[in-house]
Structure 1
């Protein structure tokens, strides 16, 4: 999904689902357009699109240092879960 001003893309979000949970995988807003409600609108549109697929659980993984994103999602009604641990595997330290 994208947010546009005239013909310029100023925000974007990538969503996916696993038939149980909907995921907001990437959310970005051009720095010149931040603090205008664009990120909240993209989250709302993401939820709307996922609801059309029958999804009723919405999730996002946010790195602990990203206080701005954590605040944003909390303002949109998301709850932080301290009881979940994230695992990943990388082929090298450079990726």
Structure 2
């Protein structure tokens, strides 16, 4: 897998991948999420492509000067367990470190045991905090 920056022509393949990986929720329009990311640190929106340049992975990262975040880490189900997610996370970490980011945070649904085990294997630990959210712009 080769990692590169997202290009607008990747949009439909990325949305299809997120659907295939079960990442899309009714309250998050993936097309709007892409548009929003392209307006802020677009260089931190990564795709992994195979030898035919087909999108098989994604990672959407950001850094606001205090903490880094990663969202939409996804690898095509047919290409999972081959080290692609690990490679995407390593590139995210490299890019954030390059910007001086001291800590990377991420959110995982508490029912997603596979993702929790994956991140634990990478050295991520549960923080003693509660994630709160409030929708400012509805995606309906």
TM-score, with structure 2 as normaliser: 0.61
Q: 1:35 aligns with which of 75, 78, 81?
A: 81
Count residues with an aligned counterpart: 92
Q: 1:25 aligns with which of 57, 60, 71?
A: 71
Aligned position for 1:56: 102
What is the RMSD of the two structures over their aligned residues, measured on CA atoms? Answer: 1.7
Partners of 1:90 and 1:49 in 2: CA distance: 28
Aligned position for 2:134: 89
Aligned position for 2:29: none
**Uncovered stretches (5+) of structure 1, i.e. residues with no partner:** none
SS at match of 1:24: strand
Q: Does 1:79 align with 2:139?
A: no
- Tell me by how many angstroms 1:90 deviates: 4.6
User: 1:56/1:90 Cα in 2 relative to 1: closer, same or farther (>3 Å)?
Assistant: closer
User: 1:90/1:45 Cα in 2 relative to 1: closer, same or farther (>3 Å)?
Assistant: same
Q: Which has the higher strand share?
A: 1
